Structure 1
């Protein structure tokens, strides 16, 4: 199969390497060009998979999409909207697109863009990337871990099982279909932990003080994370989803025995340090609010569900950061009142 990978941070090249190892051909494109700088005809791979992977580096996105039978988009949430607007006119009718991960309700944005062009394609929304990876050098990526059972939803919703099988064929992992893309948006348990840690360590972050996130998962922080997670799970249940609780997700991601969160925090700290962000301009912290907690509040308001602690956390983080954190560009043009029908069928053609 010919796969176009759009995004060349760490996940994109690592996913490309795995697909190549399974006999697929891959074109790799970087939205700004920097991600592919230094990659020649082959990408060096270390970690779980070691060796080299032959990839076609595409300077132009149209070249990456040429003859593609599937497309994987893996870019940060702040870049996802601009990338989808840029590539939508070049996507071929019927070619499946996988967002790895999906952010907010991005599948509906892409579906709307395709509908405006008279085209359609199944769009997959992965709750998390299928792997953990780091970029060791311009031409080297280290694959740290592969994730089994990643949740994947789709627009239209009925396409989820087929896209789960497509992802399994590409990456050799199991994927768990979800009823609709709201499930993928609510499955981002990391936003809960990021928010709790940011509130409890704001002065360390602001002062650029080196700190260990696992070591700072104190009992108080764990209590806050547990209660935020309870509101996330309650909203999911109200919307018809049974999602993975935070401790279960951490157990699967880190190979730990599931236990109360405070006890798991000690086990995580013993595994090794996880450096915390330095500076209030750390993009992923704001994105956890914008495309995580703030999105959940919008969904909850539309359904009449109260999330008082989540609302308070967003307000406190906005006060600490001194700026609004709720501007979700991936919801552009979306009528939340039409959400159930859009999730099921996509936008009218």
Structure 2
């Protein structure tokens, strides 16, 4: 199966290697034109849960990557999605399914609208998080820390069972279907998890220190997460959605028994080795999850009449630390009142 991967960073690299181990043909396109230079003429070096040297195809344009692809995978930070959606809308043929890896909050609706502008209604599949937990290693490598056993997935109104079958054929039987794309937006715990970790370890990020996420998921951070999770769950309930708790997500990722997050944090720390935290403040934990995760969730809460003070405070603090207004940087999602009005219970 030929899979177009739009993006060339850690997730794109890991996805390409993973697909090659499954005998598919991934074709990477770098929106910047430079992201794949490190492994264009030399192997993509992969370590961790997947090991080896890999040689994915590199496309010179989005149109070249998309042409003839059985599946299109959007695998890049949220601030690059608008550009990529424009390319997809222009180049995709109507039957090509599109997968959004770790969907930014409500991004599936933005892609659906952009396709509609071009008279298209491609099947869209959105994932609640990444299938592969990974981190780039230099310009030509990636470390795959975890291959998740289960990832929540939903499809657009134009989605089909055939599109779901293609996704499973490409990536394996790792997906649990959720009712709709809105449920995925409320199922993604990255905005909350990354907010807590970034705020609690911000000076480490600024100073470029090496720090592990597992050992720094301390009891205090866990208590913060539990309160943030309560706000997310309250919003989901108001919108008539059933989503997993953060403890249930950790159970699925680590296999530990469900317990208060403070207790689960102790077990996660005891396990030791895990993914390293960001060593720069220029990290997707803030630059992606603040404008494209926290901000739209706060807007959803405001439209639904659900108070989310910790989300709001976290976004305000991050904006202050960076000297910018993250609430204004989301170029994907505008007014959410219409979407919310259909869902209030």
Coarse TM-score class (shorter-chain normalised): 0.7 to 0.9
**1:164·1:175 contact (CA, 8 Å) conserved in 2?**
no
List per-residue Cα deviations over 1:308-335 (Å, max 9, x = no partner): 3322332333333332111243434x44
CA distance in 1, matches of 2:138, 2:320: 38
CA distance in 2, matches of 1:132, 1:216: 17
Secondary structure of the structure 2 residue equivalent to 1:34: coil
Partner of 1:18: 18
Partner of 1:346: none
Cα deviation for residue 126 of structure 1 reads 0.8
Partner of 1:221: 221
Unaligned ranges ≥5, structure 1 = 344-349
TM score, norm. by length of structure 1:
0.86
Partner of 1:89: 90
CA distance in 2, matches of 1:159, 1:119: 12
Residues 133-152 of structure 1 mapped to structure 2, 5 A cutoff:
133-136=134-137, 138-152=139-153
Partner of 2:102: 101
Partner of 2:68: 67
Cα deviation for residue 12 of structure 1 reads 1.5
Secondary structure of the structure 2 residue equivalent to 1:132: strand
**1:160·1:178 contact (CA, 8 Å) conserved in 2?**
no
List per-residue Cα deviations over 1:81-109 (Å, max 9, x = no partner): 22222332111122110011211222122
Partner of 1:29: 29
Partner of 2:182: 182
**1:152·1:164 contact (CA, 8 Å) conserved in 2?**
no
**2:43·2:55 contact (CA, 8 Å) conserved in 1?**
yes
CA distance in 1, matches of 2:287, 2:174: 31
Identify the range of structure 1 (334-343 vs 289-298) with the bigger mean alpha-carbon deviation.
334-343
TM score, norm. by length of structure 2:
0.87
Quick one: structure 1 residues 160 and 203, their matched pair in 2 at CA, closer, same or farther if it must change by over 3 Å?
farther
Secondary structure of the structure 2 residue equivalent to 1:329: coil
List per-residue Cα deviations over 1:126-169 (Å, max 9, x = no partner): 1111112344465544433211221112222x627554432211
Quick one: structure 1 residues 36 and 190, their matched pair in 2 at CA, closer, same or farther if it must change by over 3 Å?
same
Secondary structure of the structure 2 residue equivalent to 1:159: coil
Unaligned ranges ≥5, structure 2 = none
Quick one: structure 1 residues 137 and 225, their matched pair in 2 at CA, closer, same or farther if it must change by over 3 Å?
closer
**1:165·1:175 contact (CA, 8 Å) conserved in 2?**
no
Secondary structure of the structure 2 residue equivalent to 1:331: coil
Quick one: structure 1 residues 35 and 280, their matched pair in 2 at CA, closer, same or farther if it must change by over 3 Å?
closer
**1:99·1:123 contact (CA, 8 Å) conserved in 2?**
yes
Partner of 1:313: 314
**1:135·1:141 contact (CA, 8 Å) conserved in 2?**
yes
